[in-house]
Structure 1
Amino acid sequence: MFYGAFILKKSDLSLVITEMNNKLECPLWHGEVNCIRRFYELPKETRPNTKDCIFFSSHEPCSLCLSAITWSGFDNFYYLFGHEDTRDSFEMPHDLKIMKEVFNCEPGSYNKKNFYWKCYSLKDMIKNCIEDENERKEIQERINKISKKYEEMFQIMKNYDSFKFSYL
C-alpha cells in the first residue's frame, strides 16, 4: 500500500521532506519510519528541530510508527485514514490486530494526547472544526477523491505477491 508521510515547518508550512513506505527494501521502512529516517539524513545544520515541525501521515500510525514518532521528538502528528479505514477499505487489519494482541489495546484506545505528542484525525477535524457547510463539503469531496484513488491503487497492488503480508 502507499503509506506515506511528510514533515512541514510550523512557521510557514513549507515542506521539509516527504517519503513513502519501502517494505521491499526493509519491512521496517513504513511510510512514517522511512520519512523520519530521511529527515535525520538531512544535514544537521539545515534540519529543523522536531518541535518546530508538523508531522503528517497518510494513515493512522501503527505501533512501530507511533514509537518512531515518539523517539524522534515530534510533538504532534496528523493523519487522514484511521486504523478502521485501513482495516475496512484496504483489507489490512494488521495494525489493529497487533495493538490488540501485543498491547491489549482496543481500536482507537491508545492515548492520543500524552506527555510526548498530540495526534489529530484530519477527518475529525473537518467534521468538528469547519463550520461552513459548503467548505466542509468541498473538503470532504477532496478526501473522497483521495480515498477512491487509494482504493484503485489497492485493487491493483493486492494482486502482487510482494504486496502480501504473509508474515503476519
Structure 2
Amino acid sequence: MLTTTAAILLLQSTAAQGSTPVPAPAPPRCDTEEYAAFDFWVGEWDVYSTGGENQVSESRIERLYNGCAIRENWKPRSGATGGSLSGYDPATGRWHQTWIGSAPGIVRFDGGPADGKMVLTGFWRGVGGPGVDGLIRMTYTPNEDGSVRQHGEISTDHGLNWANAFDFTYRPKEDSE
C-alpha cells in the first residue's frame, strides 16, 4: 500500500513539473460609461461647508482595481475619520458604497446617477443620536467650477420626510509649490 501511494505521488509530481502553466487572462477593464458615472468625484480635495470658507476636511478620492472601484479617504479637521469604497454592479445596474469610519458600524448605500448627479441612500444606525436610526440620502453634484457638492439629507420616518444633515463642497486642492 505504501509503495502504491508513493508511486502515485511521484507521478503527480513529475506531471506537474513537466506541464507549462497557462497564464490567466487579464481581467476585463471597468471602462464603460456606467463605471465612469462617478468619476467627477475623483481627485484631491479640500472640503468646506457649502456656501462658506470653513474647511471641515481633506479628502482623497481615487479610482482603483482596474477602474472598478472608487475609494475615499476622509480626513476631517476634527471628528471621526473614515472612508468609503464605491462601485458599479453590472448585475443590478446600481452603484453601491460602503462607509467605514473610526466609530463602530458600517453603512451601506445604494443608488446611481440621476440628472447628472450621483444619488446614494443608506440606513445608518444611530445617525440622529443614540437610538435614532435613519436613512441618509447623499446627492453628489459636479459644479461648473470643478468643485463637487455633497448634500446629505436625513429621514427618521422611513423616507416620508427629509431634513438637511450636512452640506459639503469639495474644492480641488491647490498645488502646494
Structure with bigger gyration radius: 2
Please state which structure has a larger fraction of its residues in strand.
2
Scaled by the length of structure 2, the TM-score of the pair is 0.27
Please state which structure has a larger fraction of its residues in helix.
1
Scaled by the length of structure 1, the TM-score of the pair is 0.28
